[in-house]
Amino acid sequence: MLGAVSALVVGMLGALGSTTAGAAPSSLTCTGTPSSPTMVPAGTYSSLILPPGSACVVSAGAVSVSSPVTIGAGAVLAVFGGSFTSSGPVSVGTGAIFAAPQNTTPITINGPVTVGQNAVFLVGVETPGGPLFSAIRGPVKGTGASSIQIHNTQVNGGVTSVGGGADNALFDELANQGFPQNFFDLEDNHINGPVSITGYMGEWAGVIRDMINGPLTFSNNTESPIDEYDIGSLVVNGPATCSNNTPAPNIGESPGGPSTVHGPILGNQAATCVSAA
């Protein structure tokens, strides 16, 4: 994903050349598009409104929103610099994108995150053993999401993904990699709550080097074409259940090794899910 992140940053920031930052208003409505996004000046906002199809970029300074943030269908909120804080929940609508693809841009969400049909939620980039840089103080729940990727983040409430994995063409276009970006990834996080990924049909999925204070469930996921499922180096304070995945999970090529599970290990793929295949 690192190459895709670089392209996403360069592509969207390049569209900001003619945009001038002004003083932060009390409320901001995004009127830009993915090819010509609105830049969000640093400041505190009573609301940040992203209508369907719109796009906003945070590129410098601290941006704080004192109300829930709803990203409309097909809209984009990207954080490439500074920091972003929401005092309430964040909802990523159908086909929409929330992307903070660098570990130098702290994200704080003081509430739950919901990721809708064919939507993308991305925080950070793979940094094995790196420090926590973001916090989500509420559960993350995806229903039919294209991609959920969370790295080096404290998550209170757990992560649940049901179904999904279809390609998001807008995210592919912004990433400009020439191949689909629909995959699921949890790496180097501290997660207080259950982690459950079921029925996902994206290109790849990984759950690596996370501390999970709750049960882990990874079941009934199918890749087409088949790549692999990487699960390893976890500390799971609860049961781990892995069953009926195609292909069966393994440690894969990411840095890591067998997991430590403080609870029963269940399912017809239990052995490959938490130890060397």
**Among 233, 135, 121, which residue's Cα sits nearest to residue 184?**
121
Asked, for residue 150, whether it belongs to a domain, the answer is yes
* Domains in the chain, number: 1
Q: Tell me, what's the pLDDT at 179?
A: 80
Asked, for residue 230, whether it belongs to a domain, the answer is yes
Asked, for residue 161, whether it belongs to a domain, the answer is yes
Asked, for residue 215, whether it belongs to a domain, the answer is yes
Asked, for residue 25, whether it belongs to a domain, the answer is no
Asked, for residue 162, whether it belongs to a domain, the answer is yes
**pLDDT confidence tier of residue 20, bands split at 50, 70 and 90:** very low
**Among 125, 178, 174, which residue's Cα sits nearest to residue 149?**
125
**pLDDT confidence tier of residue 96, bands split at 50, 70 and 90:** very high
- Domain of 227, in residue numbers: 2-11+69-274
User: Contact 201/223 with Cβ under 8 angstroms?
Assistant: yes
Asked, for residue 35, whether it belongs to a domain, the answer is no
Measured CA distances, 152 to 40, 166, 218 (Å) = 25, 25, 20
Partners of 15 in the β-ladder: none
Least confident of 101-115, 162-176, 213-227, 252-266: 252-266
Which residue shows structure tokens 């159908």?
Answer: 94
Question: Does pLDDT of 2 surpass 50?
Answer: no
What is the percentage of the chain residues whose pLDDT exceeds 70? 89
Asked, for residue 226, whether it belongs to a domain, the answer is yes
Q: Tell me, what's the pLDDT at 8?
A: 53
Q: What is the mean pLDDT of residues 189-200?
A: 98
Query: Residue 163 corresponds to which tokens in the numbers above?
Result: 């179904």
